[in-house]
Structure formats: structure tokens, C-alpha cells
Amino acid sequence: MRNSDRKIKYSQAVNEAVSQCMESDPAVFIIGEGVPDPKGIFGTTLGLKEKFGSARVMDMPVSENGVTGIMIGAALAGMRPVMTHQRMDFMLYAMDQLLNNAAKWKYMFGGRSVPLVIRTIIGRGWGQGAQHSQNFQALFAHIPGLKVVMPATAYDAKGLLVSSIEDDGPVIFIEHRWLHDTVDYVPEEIYRVPLGKCGRPRSGDALTIISHSYMTIEALKAAGILEKEGIFADLIDLRTVKPLDLASIFRSVKRTGRLLVLDDDWKTGGVAAEIIASVAENGRLKLKKPPARITLPDVPTPTSPALSKFYYPGTKEIISKAAELLGLNNGKKLKLLSRIPANILQDVPDRSFTGPF
């Protein structure tokens, strides 16, 4: 689907969403470590300070916990803060404020909501290891009162971020570092992609593949290879992992009868587990094969490039699982796998990346 003639990067789409929301609503402002610095959060905040001034485009002390609470207070008092974290690992200091206050305020008091957006960045690779590349979507999705958004494309990044900023509750908006440089057709004017509705980048009847964020890129690569062998997968890009668009998921699974869920997070208690449980609970869905999931293994992230190949799933794992779900014979499976480009490095988005992040 082509929404515009203009192609821009995911990072620019994020930038544009913030910029247009700031133009249309003086209550919107952005704050975060490095927001006005020369690298501008991987390009996502470049130029904003020049446009809106340093009172609305702000750096902050390295005080994630306190400043999150302060932003909750500002939001309650009528502002619409967008707070950013260069890595999701850094916002763990702020768990109390987010889980106890932001998520619960409206429910506890029956009154004001907290229109706060936390923009936070996940990633993989280049030896960032145990504390610099964690993906915590499940942790936040578990908490009643938080929405969790994970765009895969530049188009969705802009539209979902506008919806998140305009939403009256707290939203955890998760960007993937490996998506920032990807390009897509993005309209210049402001637009919204609704929260809680999935996208459907490919349609087919053979099997349902559900993904979000970076794993959607891998899913698209896998779907492209399957198509060459005449196998058409139904791809569901969640866009929002909380709330889940279960109606669309059920509709697809009902048609295909085969389900594969991808999630760039640990296995136990994850988003993939939630989706599979929801499908299993639905008595009207008859699966032809047991559902499958591809996640990170339940271990912290190792740093050695040699270990990244055991850690990060990609196109190969998706094709292999899909072949299993489809009951393909080994020859057919090998033929599919042979179509994957050789020499993929698991620890970089592409070979032009020479580190560090």
C-alpha cells in the first residue's frame, strides 16, 4: 500500500510526528537525555530545538526515576509530555512511577488521566549485551493501565506516535534501533494510525504469522521467500501489543488454521504466549497443527558475535518453523532455506553498519 509519494526514514517519521503534535498543541513538549544534543536520539529529535526552543525541547539530568514522576505530575496538571529513553534498559529505574502512578492514577482516583508518552528504544546486536539491548514489551503489557505500541514501519511510526501523544492515557512507545534507518512512504500532513488495531502487510491462506516491530521485517523477508514457492502467508503486524487486536488475529487464524507468533522478547510470559493462549481459549478456532512461537531464548543477551547467532532469531528460524507448520518435506524446506541470502551477520542490521550503536 502506498500512502504518499514521499519516502522518509522511520527516524524522520518519528521526528515529524513529534513536531506536528507540538505545532498543533502547545501542551506537547519533549524531554530526555540527549534530546537536543547533536545526535538527537538517533536523528529522531534533530531540528526540534531550533524550531520550538529549549523550553519545549529539553535535555534532563540522568535521573530517570525522578523525572518520570515529574512528567506524570506535569501530565496530570495538563501538559502532554513526550519523554524519551535511548535504551529501554535505562527506564527500569522509573518502574515505580510508571507502574504505581502513571498506570493507576485514573483508576485509583476515578479522575484525571495521565497523557504521557514514553518513547523508548530497543535493539539488538553489536555486543550491547545484558544491559543495553533488552526488550521489555511484555513487562509493560502486563500492567493494566498502560498501552504498549511497537511500530514496524515509518508510516506506522508517525501515525501511531500521533495517536499516542493524543491519547489520554500513558503510552509506552517502543522503537527499534534497527528500524530507524528503514524507509517508507509517509504523508507530509498529520495523520493517525489507531491504537489497538493491527496491520496486515501480506495476505494469504497458508498460515498466519504474527509479528511486531523489527520481527515484522524478518517476517516480510520470510513471506517473500515462501511466496516464491507459491506459499502465501497471512502476515499480521500487531502495531500495538497492548491492547491486542484479538478480533483480527482470530479472523486470520480461523482461515489459515496454522499459527506462528514472532516476538523479540524472552519466551516465558511473553506477548507470544499471550496470543497463543488467547487463540487456545477460543473454542471456535480449530488449528491444524499446534501453534508455534519464535522468541528470544530465556537467557540474558550475550555480547560475543559468535553467540548472537544462537540468540537472535531471523528469517531462517521463521522459514524452518513455517515449513514444520505446513508439513513440508525436507527437500522443500531446504529449497526454501537456500533462498535466504548467505553471509547474514546476526549482530548488525546490514553490512554497512560498522558500530558502535
Ligand X SMILES: Cc1ncc(C[n+]2csc(CCOP(=O)(O)OP(=O)(O)O)c2C)c(N)n1
Residues tagged active-site: 132
Q: Which of 5, 38, 189, 338 binds other proteins (CB under 8 A)?
A: 38
Query: Considering the rule CB under 8 A, would residue 132 count as an interface residue with other proteins?
Result: yes
* Residue 299 binding other proteins, by CB under 8 A: yes
Q: How many of the chain's residues bind other proteins (CB under 8 A)?
A: 41
Stretch that binds other proteins, among 36-44, 142-150, 172-180, 227-235 (CB under 8 A): 36-44
If contact means CB under 5 to 8 A according to the sort of partner, which of ligand X, other proteins, none does residue 305 touch? other proteins
With CB under 5 to 8 Å by kind, the binding choice for 299 among ligand X, other proteins, none is other proteins
The three grid cell numbers given for residue 316, joined into one nine-digit string = 531462517
In order of 65, 105, 118, 141, the CA distances from 22 in angstroms are 25, 25, 16, 27
User: Contacting other proteins (CB under 8 A), which of 23, 24, 26, 37?
Assistant: 37
Q: Under the criterion CB under 8 A, does residue 126 sit at the interface with other proteins?
A: yes
43 binds, among ligand X, other proteins, none (CB under 5 to 8 A by kind): none
Please identify, using beta-carbon distances, which residue of 64 and 218 lies nearer to ligand X: 64
Please, how many CA atoms are within 13 Å of residue 351, restricted to the half-sphere of its CB? 4
Distances in Å between the Cα of 166 and the Cα atoms of 67, 313, 349 are: 21, 34, 32
- What residues make contact with ligand X under the rule CB under 6 A? 33, 62, 64, 90, 93
234 binds, among ligand X, other proteins, none (CB under 5 to 8 A by kind): none
> Smallest gap, in angstroms, from Cβ of residue 68 to ligand X?
12
Cell of 173: 512507545
Shortest Cβ 180–ligand X spacing (Å): 17
**From the CB of 230, what's the least distance to ligand X, in Å?**
48
Complex with ligand X: residue 48 or 91, whichever CB lies closer: 91
Radius of gyration of the chain from Cα atoms?
A: 20
CA dist list (Å): 181 to 157, 177, 214, 357: 12, 8, 12, 13
Is residue 50 involved in binding other proteins (CB under 8 A)? no
- Comparing CB distances to ligand X, the nearer of 64 and 166 is 64
Closest approach, Cβ 96 to ligand X, in A, equals 14
Residue choice 16, 89, 156, 245 for contact with other proteins (CB under 8 A)? 89
Cell numbers that stand for 338 in this block: 537456500
Question: How far is residue 121's CA from residue 52's CA, in Å, rounded to a whole number?
Answer: 23
Nearer to ligand X, 132 or 147 (CB): 132
Select the span of 76-84, 203-211, 251-259, 302-310 touching other proteins (CB under 8 A). 302-310
Contact segment (CB under 8 A) with other proteins among 15-23, 90-98, 141-149, 156-164 equals 90-98
Which residues here bind other proteins, judged by CB under 8 A? Answer: 33-34, 37-39, 59-66, 89-90, 92-93, 126-132, 297-300, 302-307, 310-311, 347, 354-357
